Chains A and B, each alone.
Chain A
Amino acid sequence: MNEWRYWFAEQKATLTAFGIFLLMFVIYTANHPAGFTANVVQTAANKGVLLAFVAMAQTLVVITAGIDLSVGMIFILTNCLASWLVLGTPLETTFGVIAVLGAGLACGALNGAIVIYGRLQPIVTTIATGAIFFGIALLLRPFPGGSVNEDLADALTGRLFGLVPTSLVALAAVVLVVWVPFTRSVYGRAAYASGSSEIAAYMSGMPIRRAKFLAYTLAGLLASVGGLFLTFFTYTGEAALASGNAYTLFSIAAVVLGGVSLFGGKGSVIGAIFGALAFRTIGDLLFVFDLDPLWQPLFQGVVLLIAVSFGAFGLFRVRNRLEWFG
């Protein structure tokens, strides 16, 4: 009984995110002209999964009390790279996928190296590296174009057994391969610990530098998985500045909706995934209610503003005003 209550307290934020998503998705499908069919679910999943990957990347960094404003640009860069490399025979395609993921890892490692070993602030560092990544993306694709191995793309964006969207299965697989080992390792625990109190973690002899470096590096990897999937959905590569900025912004919104604390040390990737899916569904609600798409940016901005303002409720519990200054 007690065990169960602890588990519930720990997972409250994730469960809330799941609840918001469920509610929004029910409203969405109930008002969708086609209703709750495999096709509607597949389209929604494919759109949501892209943001979910980027939000996962953001979560890893946010847990260490950092922030990565270059995730959107890594996403765009790997999209452009994939539109050159993920082509041809199965063997060539495999090497292409590995190269794209490696590029993502390298981008993340660059961020991590500068932030941790260069001791610069994460915000400025990732804004600057974001500019570099976007510049490289523009070099790769000055104009939208390129192509991708369509067999692989169709396989990964279609449905498994005609029912389950493959992209969701891929998302679950990435969670199992990247997130679960990370949290169970010493580094995962050190990442959480350094997010909630870096001094305490340092005093306890935790490997905080390596943990943070790993968090930034894996964030790059996850963003590149997102970029790979973007290529599978669109069949092309495009260096779109607006799209990169939007994904960075939405990843923060998803992380906040998913109950990950921006001050670090709290939350999980699972919550962020549901936050991402919920955010996408909220954005799409406008379409099923037949509102002008011009209102979508404003609507998403207001959702983000409200979501971040919810974090302020903790202030009402503060007894001593000095706690404001943490």
Chain B
Amino acid sequence: MQNPTPRRKFHLIYLVLDVSTSMRQADRQLESPFERFQLLMPDLVLRMREHIQVRTTCWLSVIAFASQATTVLPATSLREIPLVPPLPEPGQTNYAAALTLLRDRIAADQDTVKASVRPMVDDDASVIVRPLVFFVTDGFPFHGKAVQNRAEWLPVRNELAAPNGSAHIAALGLEGAEEGVLADLATGDGDLVNGFIADGTVASGSLAANVNSAILDSVQRSAQLGTMMIKTPTGMRRVARR
């Protein structure tokens, strides 16, 4: 009789942050979403680690994008407290660059995770490394002198979401984001898509804090359940599948 091979699930968590110029515009409380994210990032990381499942099975990476995309924090095990460096300078909103970097990083980071957990598992085949992507933006794709059309970034997104990429993507749109873009970007289950857009009831600085809380909650739930779970952040509504 053959013994079943235990499956071990690990998660690569990607925070993909839009740091374009518009993210730095202060709201009526004189605080910009960029400032709030930068302020809350270290705390978000610390609080993620307070969930034992997250601490032992998750790697965190932070990617920032404006005119270009940059890996701010390479994939780092949450067994250690990572240092999140400052976010880069502002620019435009280059979705194609962000998604391309994300695709490249996921492929490399999955190998890194497998290598680091190899001593703990029977064989690599038993290891599942699932990327959970939190894509935070406040605008529509724009680069150079024109809006980026879907043909530039949607194929890359589809590669990520394909079964072999297996990334779960939650798209969180602050004030200024476009609902259709978020719906295309996010993955989901049937008609329930993990795209959320500001409903205009909360100032953008506070909304950034609410998004942070939703990400924290989602990471903790998802690490436990093995699939992406995210609740609608306060001050947002779920977008409809196109």
Q: Do A and B bind each other?
A: no
Interface residues of A (CB under 8 A from B): none
